[in-house]
A and B are shown apart, each in its own frame.
Chain A
Amino acid sequence: MANESMVLFEVFIRSRRGLDHKHVGSVHAEDSEQALEYARDCYTRRSEGVSIWVVKSEDITASQEDDSESFYDPSDDKPYRHATYYKLPEAVNNM
């Protein structure tokens, strides 16, 4: 069987103590059910998780390298968006 005919899935796992699913890698599979089984076999062998999500890689829309100027640079000169930018009055110094 060739991998070319199979679909690529991204795997997200929530660990026992974790609150959110984290991306751990990807698997090839024929469909989402099989992807779930392979995710279990490839990424939870050492008790890494208690919940698995698999998502078709092609369903993920990702930002591109080219976008970074317009996406991220504009926030570089706006330090006032960070809480640390503001000087607190003495009265609330323990905040």
Chain B
Amino acid sequence: MSVVLNNTAILEYTLRLADDSLILGHRLTEWTSHGPFLEEDIAMSNVALDYIGRARMYYGYAAELSGDGKTEDDFAFLRDEREFRNLLINELPRGDFAYSTVRQLFIDVFNSLYLPKLMQSNDETLAAIAAKGIKETRYHLRRSRDWTLRLGDGTAESHKRMQKAIDSLWGYTHELFELDELEQQLADQRVGVDNTALRAEWLATVESILSEATLTRPNDDWVVKGGRTGYHTENLGHLLTEMQFLHRSNPSCEW
């Protein structure tokens, strides 16, 4: 395989990771100034910033790989819904605090398994981004785990909301462990990660946290997919409209 072709594959892979981080980061920013109380508001905004920072590193690398003068902003603000490749779980509306907590738990456990593998990538830049990200993720997981235990094993109301969030999000977790042809090829070359191999440990960790929090793991009947091929839920379009508006109406805007 030629170097150029491989660069295209790595660019595509990097954009997927960038989109995951940006869209989730944006969803988390929607809590800023709407947090349940001041300290938690700041804590959630910190997590949001971690994700947006991670997105910038991936987009920056993608811009470098594309080699046609594109910048990180072009990727974030000038692509439309069908061009975004984020997994669907990241774009779902922020919901209530229980919903956001459960989504963070699922993704934090995933990243705590995924990033250490990406750190071993043959691609030095991806490995370096993962090495920075894993430190943040360990802290994120500490928070989402604590909140899951607190709310799951809390009041009748908090328990009910947590279980409802788990039941509505579970169908979106399967996509985390899928590999398409490109991802398989990069996993074989030890550039990307074989996500399918992460599911068993993810399940074991999540199940143990849920059971400690007196919550129940749903069955796997309902499965939703489409993010990696650009087929999104109706929520992404609304998110992009809000996120991209300023840049599109003032393309040269700087601050």
In the complex, chain A residues whose CB is within 8 Å of the CB of B38:
28
- B39's contact among A2, A42, A45, by CB below 8 Å, is which? A42
Bound complex: CA A14 to CA B37 (Å): 26
* B233 → chain A closest CB, angstroms: 29
- Which residues from 38 to 60 on chain B have a C-beta closer than 8 Å to any C-beta of chain A? 38-40, 42-43, 46
B37 touches A3 (CB 8 A): yes
Please indicate the chain B residues that have their CB under 8 angstroms from the CB of A48 in the complex.
none
Across the interface, name the chain A residue whose C-beta is closest to B35. Answer: A1
How many angstroms between the C-alpha atoms of A28 and B36 in the bound complex? 12
The answer to whether A37 and B46 touch (CB under 8 A), given A3-B37, A28-B37, is: no
Q: Does chain A have a CB within 8 A of B132? A: no
A34 at the interface (CB under 8 A from B): yes
Interface residue from B36, B37, B146 paired with A37 (Cβ < 8 Å): B146
Contact with B along A8-52 (1 / 0, CB 8 A): 000000000000000000011110011001101110010000000
Instruction: Name the residue of chain B whose CB is nearest to the CB of A39.
Output: B39
Given A34-B146, A37-B143, A37-B146 in contact, is the A45-B46 Cβ separation under 8 Å?
yes
Q: Is the interface of B mostly helix, strand, loop or mixed?
A: helix
- In whole Å, how far is B49's beta carbon from the nearest beta carbon of chain A? 9
Interface residues of B in 147-204 (CB under 8 A from A): 150
- Docked Cα-Cα span, A34 to B142, in Å, equals 10
Cα(A30)–Cα(B36), bound, Å:
13
Size of the chain B interface, CB-CB below 8 angstroms: 13
Quick one: given A30-B150, A33-B146, A34-B146, are A41 and B46 in contact (CB under 8 Å)? Answer: yes
* Chain B positions within 8 Å of A1 at CB level: 36-37
Q: Give residues 84-126 of B contacting A (CB, 8 Å).
A: none
| Residue contact B39 to A38, C-beta cutoff 8 Å | yes
Interchain CB contact (< 8 A) of B42 among A2, A30, A33, A41:
A41
By a CB distance below 8 angstroms, the chain B residues around A29 are: 39
A41: contacting residue among B36, B39, B150, CB under 8 A: B39
Q: Known contacts A1-B36, A28-B37: does B150 contact A37 (CB below 8 Å)?
A: no
CA A28 to CA B46, docked complex, whole Å: 17
Q: What is A's interface to B at a CB cutoff of 8 Å? A: 1-3, 6, 27-30, 33-34, 37-38, 40-42, 45
Please name 21 pairs of A and B residues whose Cβ atoms are closer than 8 Å in the assembled complex, sorted by A: A1-B37, A2-B37, A3-B37, A6-B37, A27-B39, A28-B38, A28-B39, A33-B146, A37-B43, A37-B142, A37-B143, A38-B39, A38-B40, A38-B43, A40-B139, A41-B39, A41-B42, A41-B43, A42-B39, A42-B43, A45-B46
Excluding A1-B37, A37-B143, A45-B46, 8 further A-B contacts by CB distance (< 8 Å) are A2-B37, A30-B150, A37-B146, A38-B40, A41-B42, A41-B43, A42-B42, A42-B43
